[in-house]
Chain A
Amino acid sequence: MKTMGRRAGSGARPRLFAFAMARDQIGGLVAVACAVFGGAAMVTACAVIGETGLTSHASPERLAAADILVAARQHHPVPEDLDPPLRERVTIPSELVEVVAAVPGVAAAVGDLTFPASILSLEAPTEGHGWASAALGGSVLDGTAPEGPGQIVLDAAIATDAGLAVGERTEIATAAGTAEYLVTGVVDAPGSGVYFEEATAAALAENPGGEVDLIAVAVEPGASLADVAADIEAAGLPEGLIVATGEARGDVEFFTAAATRGELVAMAGSLSGTVLILVGCVVAGALSVSVANQRRDLALLRALGATPRRVRRLVAAQATAVAAIALVPGIAVGHLLAGAFADALTGVGLLSEALPLARTPLSALLAAALMLPTAQLAARGAAMRISRMPATEAVAESRVEPREPSHLRVRVGLVLFAAALAQSLLPLFTRSEAALVSTATGALMAIVGLALAAPALVRALTGHAARRLSDRTGAPQWLAVSNSRTYALRTAGSVTVLALAVALTLTQLYTQTTVERAAAADLEAGLRADATVTGAAVGGVAPAEIAELADEPGVTAAVPMTSTTVLREYEFAGDRWAESYAAPAFGPGAEQVVDVRVDAGDLADLAGESIAVSTATARVWGVDVGDEVRLVLANGVAVRPSVVATYERGIGFGSVIVSTDLLAAHSGARLFEAVLLSGDAAAATVWASDRPGLDVRAGPAMIAAGPGSSPERWINLLVSVALLGYVLLGVGNSLVASTSRRRGEFAALRLVGATPRQIRSMVRREAVLLSAMAIGAGLAISVPPMSLLGLGFTGRPWPQGPLWPMAAIAAAAAVIAYAATMMPTRRALGEPPAAVLGSGD
């Protein structure tokens, strides 16, 4: 309020005003503070996540001793879109090691390899590497370097954990099978690993063309790191390679962490767009409460000679001051929120643990830079009309709502409803990702349609209610219906926002749960294995062991299974695009352990360079059994497998099933997540009993590859629940505003003879009417499409999932509507009616 005295002059009256205004508008200012606080928290959280994506590097560990790392880009280039990340190591030709080694200033260049190699007695998977990359940094070696196929050097931490010393022998499981090795040395190097002699490492890595993962470079003492790096780049390396120094080396070493960074930026970007729009709306709504509360005081200021500009500046200065105060806790909470959000992202694999959160002052600055001008602008906007009005008019402004809802608006709204309904019918015809998208966009269309048609609908509904009123209807009920009807636009605004909150949340939630149930049903019906072998302690099951297992008496089929991703490249509107699909990979014999409900072709043909495609996806792709498809594997290798089968259970098994042969032919050593068996489970148990690290479980393992397992959906749900809370805050604000503005109406009613009780009863009925319409509309928009989705995907015509969230969100909407109207009403009724009317408000 200091600003007030300064700006309006130093006379006794303005200071009196300032004092009175501070007292009267606390409610409004609290609303502004809440809106800014919530907004700052969300903007800060987005900024932290975005900045993490932009600038955060995992620090190099195992390869920290290398001055320069040369590796392939872990993205598939797409000209017109974000490059999708590649989740398996993109290898580079081993000849390049020589090229790099020949660059002046390079002391040593080593082709680095990483492959599964687990010490059986350790009971935790570890990785193997060539000895040269550990030797690069000159780490202290206790013992001798590995010199033959049977020798290894262990990292000190692993040696301690496994209780191994130099000279001892231990069994190590690799993709080539389990073999015994002699520990010739223990090395005190950062990171952890099992080091093999170079030729052994290359053999165990099984890269088809002898490729290496990356090249680790040591620079000669005295040579300039930057110069050497530039020389390497200029040494005629093929395109798509990166030369990393400093912190960027961490991105090369932990390439999966780096791969998620682009997704983080994209997510933070799209999220902050939504957040900013919402924050703008809610802050503006809160400020209109604040300005409405001060209406009369501002008009009086105008009468005292303040220019419209000065009035706007006063309101803006107040808003900015309040915003600045609310920013501080908002930013602090934003950092906490970012931490929680990051945990959620890490939990679903969208953020690597190796990537530290970027907690710099930048996010705080960004939040301040966005929130303060938002508050300024919203305040000026809110004060625009009142500041321009002649002072006398501002005091005696009529509160009549003149506009009739336009017919065009209503018609467009109804057309959108029809279109939304048509869209939500798609799940009845195809169980696919496309049907989900159609349902989701249908829900959005229905919400826009509701926003357009709501005033007319409110008028029609309240008109219907009004016709049912009789002379015997109690006065509160009668007044409540009349008010809701007359102020159809105002009522419709609140109804729409509340209905939007209800419908969006329910749509998000039940889409997710319906898909999950459909996926679970697919898998339950489709997984037919009698037993499952897994190898969690050693990182998976080796191909050699699978071959052995298949030969066991009693076992009719042993089918390896793993999960991967494939990119499908396609042309659209003259541009190249790529779509990423999570895909399970099955080995030959898959038809004996899974029933994906083959539509055409035969799953028994899934061997060699082949894939199977869900029927819905095949339709989208425009392919049929026998066609070749252009795909990019997770390690960036382009392949052209042929489609051997199409299948129905795409929700559970995913859009694409890849043959493990295809992966083996184009990538290096790999352990399988599970082996699905048909035959005698007991035989497998006996077989596994002398193979430490392997577990046998009767029945099929659950795999998660279909859209039901998509982690982004849960993140979307999480975010929409957070936004829902914020939207409800906004609705609460605007309801408080419109109710506070009815002081005059309440006072007039009381002078005509209405008791405070009758007025409370009237407002209560209005709130009930409002929430009933909002909840009704919200359910009407969301339940039918969700039921159609349930019918199409699971055969049960109602929303699939727990039903309590429906009740919970309806209750939340009702509580907000009730509290936000009853509290200001009680406050208004505390004032003597004559004083309210006498004050001219």
Chain B
Amino acid sequence: MPTMQAPRTALREDPTRPAALLMRHVTKTYDGAVTALDRVSLQVQYGSFLAVMGPSGSGKSTLLHCAAGLDSPTSGEVLVGGTEISRLNETKRTLLRRDRIGFVFQSYNLLPSLTVEENIALPLRLSGAAADRGWLDELVARVGLGPFLRRKPGEISGGQRQRAAIARALAARPEVVFADEPTGALDLETAAEVLDLLRGLVDEFGQTTIMVTHDPHAAARAHATAVMADGRIDQYCVQPTAEELARRLTLLRAPRPGPPLDRP
């Protein structure tokens, strides 16, 4: 089982503390036929930044959905912060997601009717928790959205929207932030800024982050990268360079002609 260890500088060691994410022999099949995940095991320690790469249909989105409690695996266990989530019902999973998990998507998914500030504070409002003003202010300042708090998502740029989405994901101080192609809709320069921000949040706040991406340059900003193929973690690279990742992906693709069926 590949185990992700964060660099010493960012790690608050506590041997009694469970892993932020633990997946044990997780299998996911669709309609009893298509195997999207094939006995995947993965452990992510607190404060680390893991990238998940792989060709289309390699199972990386399914991995993210199962790990984040959006989908339940066919078999195997998923533990977030030591809590088993794979067998919970939808409402309990929602409550767990609300308290322990943050999401960042390629398409931002901000609510157009709310201001940037309201969007960021939304998870707290939904859980009924008292907003920690100090934390929110710090967060807003860190993502650099101070001047835009009163605007609606439609009135700011794509990069700013993604920053707002990142701030929202962190607002409830989740154990893990899952990012699904967070730079997929951004131009290169903006994408680099957003990746800087994600990495910075890991380094400064110790925010455990798992990011699915197809971009080797994005993956290279993580502490480690899991490369997936055919529903398994094929390779596991610690602090690889973008070039090395690109080469590994090419090798992975070359002998396997014909794209596997992509699942939503």
Interface residues of A in 355-398 (CB under 8 A from B): 396, 398
Query: Which of A53-61, A480-488, A637-645, A668-676 lies at the binding interface?
Result: A480-488
- Mask of B115-131 contacts with A, CB within 8 angstroms, 1/0: 00010001101111001
Whether the Cβ atoms of A753 and B112 lie closer than 8 Å is: no
Whether the Cβ atoms of B131 and A471 lie closer than 8 Å is: yes
B113 interface contact, C-beta 8 A: yes
**B interface, size bucket:** 20 to 34
Q: How far is the CA of A398 from the CA of B154 in the complex (A)?
A: 8
- The distance from the CB of A174 to the nearest CB of chain B, in whole angstroms, is 81
Q: Which residues of B contact A744 (CB under 8 A)?
A: 109
Interface residues of A in 796-841 (CB under 8 A from B): 832-835, 837-840
Whether the Cβ atoms of A485 and B125 lie closer than 8 Å is: no
Whether the Cβ atoms of B70 and A833 lie closer than 8 Å is: yes
Query: Which of A404-412, A439-447, A755-763 lies at the binding interface?
Result: A755-763
B223 interface contact, C-beta 8 A: no
A164 interface contact, C-beta 8 A: no
- The distance from the CB of A143 to the nearest CB of chain B, in whole angstroms, is 92
Interface residues of B in 71-105 (CB under 8 A from A): 71, 90-91, 94-95, 97-99, 103, 105
A745 interface contact, C-beta 8 A: yes
Whether the Cβ atoms of A752 and B107 lie closer than 8 Å is: no
Given the contacts A753-B123, A753-B126, A755-B95, A839 and B113 also touching, CB distance less than 8 Å: no
Whether the Cβ atoms of A486 and B126 lie closer than 8 Å is: no
Nearest A residue to B153 via CB reads A400
**A interface, size bucket:** 35 or more
Q: Which residues of A contact B105 (CB under 8 A)?
A: 751, 837
A163 interface contact, C-beta 8 A: no
Q: How far is the CA of A744 from the CA of B114 in the complex (A)?
A: 15
- The distance from the CB of A192 to the nearest CB of chain B, in whole angstroms, is 75
- The distance from the CB of B38 to the nearest CB of chain A, in whole angstroms, is 20
Whether the Cβ atoms of B118 and A835 lie closer than 8 Å is: no
Whether the Cβ atoms of B107 and A396 lie closer than 8 Å is: yes
B152 interface contact, C-beta 8 A: yes
- Mask of A250-292 contacts with B, CB within 8 angstroms, 1/0: 0000000000000000000000000000000000000000000
A749 interface contact, C-beta 8 A: yes
Nearest B residue to A401 via CB reads B112
Whether the Cβ atoms of A838 and B126 lie closer than 8 Å is: no
Q: Which residues of A contact B110 (CB under 8 A)?
A: 748
Whether the Cβ atoms of B97 and A486 lie closer than 8 Å is: no
Q: How far is the CA of A835 from the CA of B71 in the complex (A)?
A: 9
A interface, over-half SS: helix
Q: How far is the CA of A753 from the CA of B118 in the complex (A)?
A: 14
Q: Which residues of B contact A471 (CB under 8 A)?
A: 131
Whether the Cβ atoms of A832 and B111 lie closer than 8 Å is: no
- The distance from the CB of A465 to the nearest CB of chain B, in whole angstroms, is 14
Q: Which residues of A contact B225 (CB under 8 A)?
A: none
Q: Which residues of A contact B125 (CB under 8 A)?
A: 475, 478
Q: How far is the CA of A319 from the CA of B131 in the complex (A)?
A: 51
Whether the Cβ atoms of A835 and B264 lie closer than 8 Å is: yes
Whether the Cβ atoms of A482 and B113 lie closer than 8 Å is: yes
Q: How far is the CA of A246 from the CA of B107 in the complex (A)?
A: 77
Q: How far is the CA of A400 from the CA of B110 in the complex (A)?
A: 11
- The distance from the CB of A795 to the nearest CB of chain B, in whole angstroms, is 50
Whether the Cβ atoms of B112 and A755 lie closer than 8 Å is: no
Q: How far is the CA of A128 from the CA of B103 in the complex (A)?
A: 94
Q: How far is the CA of A485 from the CA of B112 in the complex (A)?
A: 12
Q: How far is the CA of A832 from the CA of B61 in the complex (A)?
A: 14
- The distance from the CB of A831 to the nearest CB of chain B, in whole angstroms, is 11
A313 interface contact, C-beta 8 A: no
Whether the Cβ atoms of A475 and B91 lie closer than 8 Å is: no
A402 interface contact, C-beta 8 A: yes
Whether the Cβ atoms of A751 and B103 lie closer than 8 Å is: yes
Whether the Cβ atoms of B154 and A834 lie closer than 8 Å is: no
Q: Which residues of B contact A750 (CB under 8 A)?
A: 94
Q: Which residues of A contact B70 (CB under 8 A)?
A: 751, 832-834
Interface residues of A in 302-316 (CB under 8 A from B): none
Whether the Cβ atoms of B154 and A752 lie closer than 8 Å is: no
Whether the Cβ atoms of A752 and B264 lie closer than 8 Å is: no
Nearest B residue to A829 via CB reads B90
Q: Which residues of A contact B65 (CB under 8 A)?
A: 834
Q: Which residues of B contact A478 (CB under 8 A)?
A: 125
- The distance from the CB of A414 to the nearest CB of chain B, in whole angstroms, is 26
B168 interface contact, C-beta 8 A: yes
Q: How far is the CA of A751 from the CA of B107 in the complex (A)?
A: 13
Q: How far is the CA of A640 from the CA of B201 in the complex (A)?
A: 98
Q: How far is the CA of A716 from the CA of B238 in the complex (A)?
A: 80
Whether the Cβ atoms of A752 and B112 lie closer than 8 Å is: no
Nearest B residue to A398 via CB reads B154
- The distance from the CB of A827 to the nearest CB of chain B, in whole angstroms, is 15
- The distance from the CB of B187 to the nearest CB of chain A, in whole angstroms, is 15
Q: Which residues of B contact A756 (CB under 8 A)?
A: 90-91, 94
What would be 30 A-B contacts, judged by CB atoms less than 8 Å apart? A399-B112, A400-B112, A400-B152, A402-B154, A471-B131, A475-B128, A479-B114, A483-B113, A486-B112, A486-B113, A486-B114, A744-B109, A745-B112, A749-B111, A749-B122, A751-B109, A752-B168, A753-B99, A753-B172, A754-B94, A754-B126, A755-B91, A755-B94, A758-B126, A834-B65, A834-B264, A837-B105, A838-B61, A839-B264, A840-B107
3 nearest CB pairs, A to B: A753-B98, A486-B113, A400-B154
Q: A399-B112, A752-B98 are in contact. List 14 more A-B contacts (CB 8 A).
A: A398-B112, A471-B131, A482-B113, A486-B114, A486-B152, A487-B113, A749-B111, A749-B126, A752-B168, A754-B98, A833-B70, A835-B264, A837-B109, A838-B264
On A, residues with C-beta under 8 Å from B are 396, 398-402, 471, 474-475, 478-479, 482-483, 485-487, 744-745, 747-758, 832-835, 837-840
